[in-house]
A and B are shown apart, each in its own frame.
Chain A
């Protein structure tokens, strides 16, 4: 039976690393299992950053195909499979937003800012993971939280974040870093 969605908790880290190793050897059914566990997180993250459903679907498909294509490049000694996949997803989503923004000459900056802020509030969902992330985000200072979420969920560069928050560049660089460090410690990331 296929695991349903990914609404609750984390995908099983160790299993995914093993699956990805099989995928690297061309095992399509291993990829299908990987898909069932990671399509939700990938699509959700891309959707959060890109927002447009059709474009999000397109980017999420690219990401998952890239996971298949580049599976042999995954190196378990440098991080988990989940992190690897989510890193690809985030980078692709940011790429998409940046090219669209560049083309539109950043007209919609304000609405994206507001959207990013709304979405943070929407993370109050039932799942344990969401709950834990929310609690950890609550433990940050306002400036840390806004810097981290605008950069990560909003897809902004730290320069843009500084502009949006009216803060100095150095301050924002520092707040993103110490905000993430505090989140890392709060979530118990190893």
Chain B
């Protein structure tokens, strides 16, 4: 239908500035591009134009970044060239999994993870004991409340929280198991920022080990996302669960 095609053609601009966020719509447009030579060359021209807007935003990078990137480069294998490609934008690269970067980069994060692991081993026993006490304390708090919600991938989650104690306990049952290399990560989502609140250890029956998180403030929401093993500092996927904590 000509009307539809024209409508698609108008999307060249939005496509060039990555403003088509709906994946099925973007897929439809990319299929159209493959058949429409003028649209394709228009997208390229508008893409170069957008890049110029990007150049105008140039600013000096943090000085420590150079060493980090070059160190990561030294230990990262490159992709082979595409020999038989129908790739639409030719140069469009695949996305590297975050984990690859994390492994490759000599980053503060990696050192922190290591430090935390060592810390955990040393304090495993004490921690378990004191955590049980802390969980009991939240449950016994005079303002403790519980919220139960079904997640978008199935299973239920219960959050018991006490604003007085700035703490919450997260438990769940029936969450689907994840492939190895993925993990459920908890977040405290506040108006100022999102903080990681721990990883879920899900047992065989889909029941998770209770997670205790501190630093809960009024207005926080509890979120759950699926992340690469080891967790991330900020969520990278859409939450499967968001629980507002009513005050």
Contacts and interface: CB of A to CB of B under 8 A. Distances in A.
B58 A7 contact: yes
B74 A89 contact: no
A158 B81 contact: no
Nearest to A82: B51
Contacts of A180: 13, 16-17, 46, 49-50
27 contacts: A7-B58, A28-B73, A39-B65, A41-B55, A60-B61, A60-B65, A61-B69, A73-B92, A79-B48, A79-B91, A80-B51, A87-B91, A90-B18, A99-B235, A99-B237, A102-B235, A103-B235, A127-B56, A129-B56, A129-B58, A148-B13, A170-B10, A177-B12, A177-B46, A187-B52, A189-B52, A190-B45
A160 B56 CA distance: 24
A26 B78 contact: yes
A12 interface: no
B91 A74 contact: yes
Given A79-B91, A173-B13, A177-B13, A39 B66 contact: yes
B93 A86 contact: no
B5 interface: no
- Choose among A10, A57, A99 the residue with the greatest number of B CB atoms under 10 Å from its CB: A99
Nearest to B242: A105
Residues of A contacting B: mostly: helix
A86 B55 contact: yes
A142 interface: no
B25 to A, nearest CB: 9
A103 B69 contact: no
Contacts, number: 260
3 closest A-B pairs by beta carbon, nearest first, are A177-B13, A70-B93, A43-B61
Interface residues of B, number: 75
Nearest to B225: A103
B44 interface: yes
B72 A65 contact: yes
Interface residues of A, number: 95
A61 B189 CA distance: 25
Given A158-B20, A176-B17, A152 B50 contact: yes
A91 B193 CA distance: 22
B14 A158 contact: yes
Contact of B48 (A7, A90, A189): A189
B194 interface: yes
Contacts of A86: 50-51, 54-55
